[in-house]
Amino acid sequence: MSIPTPDLLSPAIQPPSAETMMANSIVTQPTALEALEHYKKKDASKVVVRFKAIGSAPIMKNNVFKATAGHKFQAVILFLRQQLGMKKEEALFTYINAAFAPAPDDTVGNLYKCFGTEGHLIVNYSNTQAWG
- The predicted model scores a pTM of 0.67
| Range with the poorest average pLDDT among 27-41, 59-73, 109-123 | 27-41
Give the residue from 56, 52, 58 showing the smallest Cα distance to 96: 52
CA dihedral 73, 79, 83, 85 (to 10 degrees): 100
Question: What Å distances lie between residue 61 and 32, 50, 53, 58, CA to CA?
Answer: 47, 12, 11, 10
The tens digit of pLDDT for each residue in 30-52 reads 677 777 776 667 667 899 999 99
